[in-house]
Copies of this chain bind each other. A is one copy, B any other.
């Protein structure tokens, strides 16, 4: 029986833990917060995944050494700001050559590393190497928790590792593709929320479906240009973790980034928008790293830069978006 430890008891970690357990895997959930484990192990439910019941056979532990020992796969599903600390804590207990899957999305501000790269970095500091696969795509946890059809990408240059993950995670309603461009796969998931902010701002200004589709498409072109400059593949950005994830983020009414953007487009300040949304707005957090990447790789990213100008208060939302429309005439 394939043994998997899931780090993190948020909605995505638990939705995947349930999926794996319900499909015959031996699943252990680790969390740094004992109260979360207690609630999950006694109620078999997650407060933010209504209607989902966890299989009784799942295990729970707060002991990271135990979580790291004897597992076929370690699944990192902690929020992106906690990936480095979790990897550091786990590293001494992780066996050489361990297969690891990361589902956290983001680029670290200071280092501009993706989440998989951070995990490798912390393992290297502990003198270890692992096989880290990124699993990313257009995936609301709420839908995966209810076995609604979903497609996702397992990305690694190590084809055997990506295929192993594909095999373990695939179910009749959860289709896993492989891809050898891990960095491109991760970049899409990290920067998409900035584009979602731009789409939200446009909608807040009263723009319609045409502007939304144009911003998503041209936003993906920016992402793709950045990725190519960073050595990633153009196809990745046309795939599930690129365009697919961008579509879900920019068209779902549940998206916090879209919501925050709409409030800003309607004239609220960034702080007011954050307060009204009441949860983390990833696009605002991802913006500095996106701008630094654009600068470092000398890539033109007019939509990302317009969002920066608006959020910094340097340009009014309407002027910034109209300036996008008024740029010199281009080839597509």
Give chain A's interface residues, CB within 8 Å of chain B: 137-140, 143-144, 148-151, 153, 163, 166-167, 170, 172-173, 175-180, 202, 206-214, 216-218, 220-221, 224, 234-240, 243-245, 247-248, 251-252, 321-322, 325-327, 329-332
Q: Check A217/B243 contact, CB under 8 A, given A179-B331, A210-B148, A210-B149.
A: yes
Residues in B neighbouring A236, C-beta threshold 8 A: 332
Q: What's the minimum C-beta distance from A315 to chain B, rounded to whole angstroms?
A: 16
Q: Are B208 and A140 in contact (CB under 8 A)?
A: yes
Q: Are B140 and A214 in contact (CB under 8 A)?
A: no
Cα A238 to Cα B239 with chains together (Å): 10
Number of copies of chain A assembled together: 2
Shortest 3 CB-CB contacts between residues of A and residues of B: A138-B213, A151-B214, A217-B244
Q: What's the minimum C-beta distance from A328 to chain B, rounded to whole angstroms?
A: 10
Cα A181 to Cα B198 with chains together (Å): 28
Cα A221 to Cα B321 with chains together (Å): 30
Q: Check A151/B210 contact, CB under 8 A, given A167-B329, A175-B325, A177-B330.
A: yes
Cα A185 to Cα B326 with chains together (Å): 23
Q: Are A143 and B210 in contact (CB under 8 A)?
A: yes
Please tell me which one of the listed residues B167, B170, B251, B332 contacts residue A178 in the complex, with CB atoms under 8 A apart. Answer: B332
Cα A210 to Cα B252 with chains together (Å): 10
Q: Are B214 and A149 in contact (CB under 8 A)?
A: yes
The 26 listed contacts between A and B (C-beta, < 8 Å) are A137-B214, A140-B209, A140-B210, A143-B211, A144-B210, A149-B207, A149-B211, A151-B211, A151-B214, A151-B217, A151-B218, A151-B325, A167-B329, A172-B325, A175-B214, A175-B325, A178-B332, A179-B331, A180-B331, A217-B238, A218-B240, A220-B238, A221-B238, A236-B332, A240-B332, A247-B247
Q: Are B138 and A248 in contact (CB under 8 A)?
A: no
Q: Check A143/B322 contact, CB under 8 A, given A151-B214, A177-B332, A244-B216.
A: no
Which of A144, A207, A234, A329 has the largest number of chain B CB atoms within 10 A?
A329
Cα A203 to Cα B72 with chains together (Å): 36
Cα A214 to Cα B218 with chains together (Å): 19
Q: Are A149 and B325 in contact (CB under 8 A)?
A: yes
Q: Are A329 and B176 in contact (CB under 8 A)?
A: yes
Residues in B neighbouring A148, C-beta threshold 8 A: 206-208, 210-211
Of chain B, the residue at the smallest CB distance from A177 is B332
Cα A153 to Cα B179 with chains together (Å): 30
Query: Beyond A178-B330, A209-B248: 12 further Cβ-contacts under 8 Å?
Result: A138-B214, A148-B206, A149-B210, A149-B322, A149-B325, A177-B330, A216-B243, A217-B240, A221-B239, A238-B238, A239-B332, A243-B243
Q: What's the minimum C-beta distance from A303 to chain B, rounded to whole angstroms?
A: 12
Cα A207 to Cα B138 with chains together (Å): 13
Cα A139 to Cα B240 with chains together (Å): 24
Of chain B, the residue at the smallest CB distance from A210 is B150
Q: Are A210 and B138 in contact (CB under 8 A)?
A: yes
Q: Check A209/B252 contact, CB under 8 A, given A238-B224, A331-B179.
A: yes
Q: Are B149 and A321 in contact (CB under 8 A)?
A: yes
Q: What's the minimum C-beta distance from A135 to chain B, rounded to whole angstroms?
A: 12
